[in-house]
Structure 1
Amino acid sequence: MPTYHEIMTTDLSALTTAAEQWDGMAKEFHKQETVYRRDVYGITLSPGWSGLSANAASGRFKVTLQQFQAAQSEAKAVASLLREAHTDFTHLRKKLESARGDAVKAGMTVSEGGVVSYDTTKLTDGERNALHHEPDYQQSVRKAVTSWQTEIDRLVKDMCDADAAVENALTRVVIDSDVSDGTLVGFNSHAHGDVKTYEDEARREAARTRTDGWKSKGKTETSGPGVGASAEGPDWGEGKLGEAEAHADLGSASAEGSMTKGPWKLDGKADAYAGAKGSAEGSFSQDGVEGNASALAGGQGSAEGKVNVGPVGVSGKAEGTVGGEANANLGVDKEGVHLGGEAFAGAKGGGEFGADVGGVSAGFSAEGWAGPGAEATVDYGKNEQGAWELSSKVGLSPGLGGEMGLNFSIDPGEVMHTAGDLADAVGHGVGSLGHAVTSIF
């Protein structure tokens, strides 16, 4: 932010000088566009070159040609912004100079730093005596100094606001906002030379991202590419029969976050993976035995979210896979039996929807498959959170097909907690009614 001293002493003519140079840059880009259109892009349009290679070259060369044109638009826009800045800054500085002159005429002095004080060098002996001994005179002087200081500070702030607006415009004018021009980091073909338009754009973005009392938190992770493998076991003391894993990752990314406001809570997460990986493991304990094996080659991604308001929740999930995968699992323990298997090659995508009210939840899932595959799973028992769950999935696809699934669960602890809250609420309501009846009589 510029200070009073910087505002009053900066050579603003540098802005118009720079604007002229940016206009000159636009002219140079126009010359290069003419040469490129004739000697490079033009050869793809001549009858001497045809076929797939000519079409491919023409497409790529056209992107470069459009960048020469976009560079001219951006350079002209920057020149326009600099001239507008010069006009605005000059106007605001004249207003500040005028205010300083009026303050001096009113008996004030204004320092190089913009500090206003009462000028005592021109006072008569009587005025100097009154300044030292008369409270009313002292009060009028303090009031006058404060008034002029407020006016000087206001004009300095106006200049700072104008400077921030120009900075915002110069930052945005060079952003490639057209995602269809063949490059994501090129010149801005939609650049314009109006400071206020960019100011309005920033204001709209701020309105879209305003939290309005919501508290948020989250994290993101990325990795890859990389390869690796590991194997270990058996470990009879830990109950491990053995496990092995291998991967060749092209890359992976994940993100998750939540927002809360009063009784509302929004949760979401997303992840993506590309590469090949496989794993197998087996374990045993006094509670039962378990074995799992899986393999994937291709890419997969998913996104899910949930909205909770008090004891009521609604959730949704979408996911997709391209490539081949296979999974098999078996588990037997005192809480139930879990078994399933899946094999698929091709592309698939689908989603899930569910709702939860006070510990009782139900959900439905559907998925479309383009490729051969089959899946069947049945799962009944108590999960890690202590809720009893029944879920099943059936899918078949000779070429085009899909799967459907249902799940239902009851959390005894959550049901009792919700029932207790409801009883308390009813009790408070009855008590309030009793007080109301008593007060009437």
Structure 2
Amino acid sequence: MALRYQDVVVADLSPLLNASELWQKMGKRFAELKEDYEKQVQRALANGKWQGQAFTAHQNSSAATASEYAAAKTEALAVASLLKQAHTELTRLQKAVKDLVADAEEKNYKVDGSGRATYIGFSKLSAQEQNALHHDPDYPKLVAQAQQAAQEWTDGIAKAVRAVDEADQGVKRALIRAAGFGGFNAHAEGDLAKAGAPDISATRADGWKIKTTGPGLGFTATGSPSYGKEGRLKAYLDLGHVTAERSLTDGPADVSVIADAYAGARATANYGFSDKGVNAAAEISGGGRAMVEAREDKGDILYYTRAEGFAGVEGGVTAKATKDEVTVGAKRFSGGKTSVAGGFEIAGIGIGGTAEGWAGAGAEAKWGYMKDETTGKWELGTKAGFSGPLGGALGVEITVDPHKFSKAVGHAADAVGDTAGSVKRTISSWF
């Protein structure tokens, strides 16, 4: 959630400095522990009196431990540096917001708790001055100018608040990247500008649009299971995510290609009950997956083909019943799988299929239909599979686009009408 004006002006940033000092002490302490461990354990036992496989195994494990102490020192000092720089940068930007508000108030603009400015200069005039002003021919113009200036102050304050939020998001990215994944981070970056830089997204000269994200670590919890609300829990550890897209336009064809690769672990849960219906779902997965898809989105016949590979573990259950969706399903799998899928669409009716090969233990079954709120399409699909250690799954999907279908029917009816009229005119000409 983006920071609001009130969040910015009331924030106490001093704990960042306190935390930075504690992380700095922690880094120094890890350095001392590493030195003591190497001296008291590694070197003490490497005096030649202990030999054999047990000694070799101990030396290997102790070297790993010493490396972890060194990595812990690097990570702690990096975090200390990031927190200190964050305090400096956020304090500067917070002051910029407060200075802007002070300037506005000095010029007779009142700023409310949401950051909106209102001109109050007229209210400070005496009753006689206000009466004279109301009879001034330029009064409407003066009011309009004051309102315009108030909006400019409001926009300026909002822009300054966004700058604080963007810096805050950068600090978040930097701290997440500094955290170790499966151990302490021996390569933690202590420069806030580098570590907090946004994820890369660029279009190359050859037309490929590349986006990379990660590593990332986080947890979110939104909503509540009370009536009219939906709750969502999400925890993730993203090691990396790369997406590449390109459109290949050639005459009547308009083919888009997308390639996607991801490594990490995720767990999500949704639950809720409202006037739209009920739903409950939970899913967890960990490992790596890659996918490539080609799609034709222009012309009378549309099609898609897709290939995907996955290695890891996954599981989940889904149950949902609303006016636009009914879905039930469950899955459990551990191992590797490959899948190919393809389908086509004519006159708004689409048919697609999926075939998967599994190397690992698992089972999956799902069925449901739903309306895509973005495209207006209705989708009906089912999928089932089982593996022993070898097996697979098959799936079918049918889509209906009411708008395209009705349009195609209308064109067909027009064509039939035109043909019938032509036949009638031809027969009439014979007589």
Q: Which of the pair has more CA radius of gyration?
A: 1
Q: State the TM-score, normalized to the length of structure 2.
A: 0.50
Q: State the TM-score, normalized to the length of structure 1.
A: 0.49
